[in-house]
Amino acid sequence: VGAMRILRTSLVRCLAAGSSYRFRTPVAAGSMAVAGAVLLSTAFVGCDEGAARWSEGAGAASQSGKPPLSVAVVIPALNEEDGLPATLAALRAQDVPVQEIVVVDGGSVDDTRKVAETFGARVIAPGRGRAIQMNAGAAATGSDVLVFLHADTLMEPGSIREALRSLERSDVLGGVAWK
């Protein structure tokens, strides 16, 4: 449902800019994990030339000469002390720096908060409910790019770099991942 909302927002932005849109698949199936699932498909919404962009430049490998986009990862969690360490370790192992990691606790009664803080993540607790947690996490960041992960998702090395490369294209506004 959240992925479809992001896709719809991307399409509305293309149309509002007076452009048509098309779908692209810039990464091989199953090559990265985003939004809590190993990707079997990735669609990036592309607007025709002249469309307004959310941001210019992307990632450490930006060819545009502009500063790289900053990345925040938002992780809604509820009693995830067991799965969270591997998820956070995989984020720290990415070849592109993640500027913000926000674990959004939905009222855990285990050591989720302690585990997150041990890995240097910021923890907020807006209340229970995945949508409430995701919205609060997004609002708590100041980064250019948001990545939402389930607390037990293991991102493959290079996942964030590949997503940023796709966003660097002048005709790409945003991306959606689904399983």
pLDDT tens-digit readout, 44-97: 444 544 333 333 333 344 455 667 888 999 999 999 999 999 999 999 999 999
Q: Count of residues for the chain? A: 179
List CB contacts of 140: < 8 A, sequence separation 6 or more: 74, 102, 104, 122, 124
Region 21-32: mean pLDDT is 42
HEC secondary structure over the chain: CHHHHHHHHHHHHHHHCCCCEEEECCCCCCCCEECCEECCEEEEEEECCCCCCCCCCCCCCCCCCCCCCCEEEEEEECCCCCCHHHHHHHHHCCCCCCCEEEEEECCCCCCHHHHHHHCCCEEECCCCCHHHHHHHHHHCCCCCEEEECCCCCCCCCCHHHHHHHHHHCCCEEEEEEEC
pLDDT tens-digit readout, 87-99: 999 999 999 999 9
pTM of the model: 0.65
Return the pLDDT at 168: 78
Residue 7 banded pLDDT, cuts 50, 70, 90: low
List CB contacts of 147: < 8 A, sequence separation 6 or more: 34, 35, 71, 72, 73, 74, 98, 160, 163
Return the pLDDT at 66: 64
pLDDT tens-digit readout, 113-166: 999 999 999 999 999 999 999 999 999 999 988 999 999 999 999 999 988 888
Return the pLDDT at 8: 59
Whether residue 43 is predicted with pLDDT greater than 50 in this model: the reply is no
Whether residue 172 is predicted with pLDDT greater than 90 in this model: the reply is no
Return the pLDDT at 85: 97
